[in-house]
Structure 1
Amino acid sequence: MEAEPPSSPSSSGPHACVVRPDLELLEDVLDQLEISSFRDSRGRLGTRWPCFSLFFTIDDQDDVFSARTIYDHFFSVDDKPELCAVLDEWNRDTTGLKVYSATDDDGSVIIVSEAMMRIDGGVTREQFAASTAIWLGNAGSFHLWLTQRLSLSGLAGEPF
């Protein structure tokens, strides 16, 4: 006997448990997780940790919920090839966070991680809260990995 395929959502409208996430809901989720947050000048909701800042956005036009983390390490352009090799190792060996380097206008190189989720059909509050908590945990886990890996490669980077 063949297994039944999962049923698709009804086309008559969203399920009662499905919500359309916004930054106010995200603030509620962060409050429930006992995480302080702030709004930056670009309208993003952010959290600050000892070694990184994490910014959340909800793009209504593209229906995407995303988290972008900026880590408190600065590198010179000369360090970029070796730094990219370290980041490639993370991207090759793990899933969940995409990490990359970015060069600021002043020429310093920073490390950024991103996670995103499509929300065009809405999500349950539980799914939204769980994704947020997982992304926060992943940002911290990556920072621990990065600190160890940079030490092994001899790339310390300048602190923020």
Structure 2
Amino acid sequence: MEAEPPSTPSSSGSHPCVVRPDVELLEEVLDQLEVSSFRDTRGRLGTRWPCFSLFFTIHDEDEVFSARTIYDHFFSVEDKPTLCAVLDEWNRDTTGLKGYTATDDDGSVIIVSEAMMRTDGGVTREQFAASATIWLGLAGSFHLWLTQRLSLAGLAGEPL
């Protein structure tokens, strides 16, 4: 006999405390946190910091809320093995935010971090706001850690 998958909460959102996250709610949360934001050409809500940009995305079709941070340094393809070793250390030792490299068509390598939360059946406004707040803090913490680790590895990268 096959095991049944665990049941998920009703997606009807019938519980009064459950909300369906959307970009407008996220804008409200960022306003309450006094974090300025903008919308990019792809409709993502973003925030800009001195050394990185963070983009929030809410995918209705697969019910996923995510935050992707792009850090303001370019590296060469030759640097990628060292970058991957540094990021492996972070990914092995932490949870909630995962870092990886991305290679542009011109061969330059950037560092990206990402956090995701499934929102099947909705979430409470408090859960949604807490996740956004935590992800903002993690992006900054990751940047500080990354700067230190890259320096120790002899990599600074070229600023954007």
Normalising by structure 1, what TM-score?
Answer: 0.92
Say whether the 8 Å CA contact 2:9–2:120 is kept in structure 1: no
**Residue aligned with 1:42, SS:** coil
The runs of at least 4 consecutive aligned structure 1 residues that moved more than 4 Å come to 8-13
Instruction: Tell me the amino acid that sits aligned with residue 155 of structure 1.
Output: L
Match of residue 53 from structure 1: 53
Instruction: Tell me the amino acid that sits aligned with residue 100 of structure 1.
Output: Y
Say whether the 8 Å CA contact 1:18–1:122 is kept in structure 2: yes
Instruction: Tell me the amino acid that sits aligned with residue 20 of structure 2.
Output: R
Post-superposition offset of 1:62: 0.5
Instruction: Tell me the amino acid that sits aligned with residue 143 of structure 1.
Output: H
Q: Which segments of 5 or more consecutive residues in structure 2 lack a partner in the other structure?
A: 1-7
Q: Which segments of 5 or more consecutive residues in structure 1 lack a partner in the other structure?
A: 1-7
Say whether the 8 Å CA contact 2:113–2:139 is kept in structure 1: yes
Relative distance call for 1:134 and 1:13 in structure 2 (3 A) is: closer
CA RMSD of aligned residues (A): 1.5
Match of residue 66 from structure 1: 66
Match of residue 40 from structure 2: 40
The answer to whether structure 1 residue 104 and structure 2 residue 110 are counterparts is no
**Residue aligned with 1:21, SS:** coil
Match of residue 123 from structure 1: 123
| Identity %, equivalent residues | 87
Inter-partner Cα distance in structure 1 for 2:83 and 2:136: 23
Inter-partner Cα distance in structure 2 for 1:108 and 1:101: 10
Inter-partner Cα distance in structure 2 for 1:114 and 1:11: 25
For 1:28-76, what per-residue CA distance to the aligned partner results, in whole angstroms no more than 9, with x for missing partners? 0000000000000011000000000000000000000000000011100
Instruction: Tell me the amino acid that sits aligned with residue 22 of structure 1.
Output: D
For 1:71-99, what per-residue CA distance to the aligned partner results, in whole angstroms no more than 9, with x for missing partners? 01110001001110000010011111011
Post-superposition offset of 1:14: 2.7
Inter-partner Cα distance in structure 2 for 1:11 and 1:18: 10
Say whether the 8 Å CA contact 1:14–1:121 is kept in structure 2: no
Total equivalences in the alignment: 153
Relative distance call for 1:46 and 1:11 in structure 2 (3 A) is: closer
Inter-partner Cα distance in structure 1 for 2:13 and 2:130: 24
Inter-partner Cα distance in structure 2 for 1:49 and 1:11: 35
**Residue aligned with 1:91, SS:** helix
Post-superposition offset of 1:120: 1.4
